[in-house]
Amino acid sequence: MEALKTRLKTIAWFLTALMLLQSCAVYHKTPTTLEKASQSQLKTKITNTNGETSIYKYITYEDGVFYGVSKKSGELVKTPLDETYINELLIKNKSASTWVTVAVIGVPIIAFGIAIIVAMDDFSVGLTGI
């Protein structure tokens, strides 16, 4: 029973780490064009003239029309995009996303580890004083 408990904890930690590593997306600060976004095939964030923000898995160009592709209910849905209503178009910065994700997860883990080591030292010092 104890071995099963240990394995389940390991699996839970592994799945939690996987979810955390996929959660962060950082976008380039400089806006780009629909043409460049469709060539890059990266996650794209579009702000329209009304101030509404839409996030697409990627942008594609078919039959003279740009489409934003998103995933809804497990299926890819294409939404036609009109360039006249787009205020800002940002594509995902893959390297920054990776670094931010590592920092967001790594820094607290390191801090937690240091806190445990310090607490263990304080505890062992308290025991030797008895």
Q: Which of 19-23, 27-31, 38-42, 82-86 has the lowest mean pLDDT?
A: 19-23
* Distance (Å, whole) CA 113 – CA 119: 10
User: What is the DSSP-derived secondary structure letter of residue 27?
Assistant: B
- At 4, list the tokens: 């099963």
Cα dihedral sign for 104, 107, 110, 114? Answer: negative
- Listed in sequence order, the residues at least 6 apart from 58 whose beta carbon sits closer than 8 Å to its beta carbon are 37, 38, 40, 41, 42, 43, 44, 69
Q: Could you report the per-residue pLDDT of 36-77, keeping only the tens digit for each?
A: 999 999 999 999 988 899 999 999 999 999 999 999 888 999
Question: What are residue 14's phi and psi, to 5 degrees?
Answer: -60, -45
* Distance (Å, whole) CA 35 – CA 60: 9
CA-wise closest residue to 86 among 54, 36, 49:
49
Q: Could you report the per-residue pLDDT of 70-110, keeping only the tens digit for each?
A: 998 889 999 999 888 889 999 998 878 778 777 777 777 78
Q: Are 21 and 105 in contact (CB under 8 A)?
A: yes
CA-wise closest residue to 89 among 42, 127, 126, 125:
42
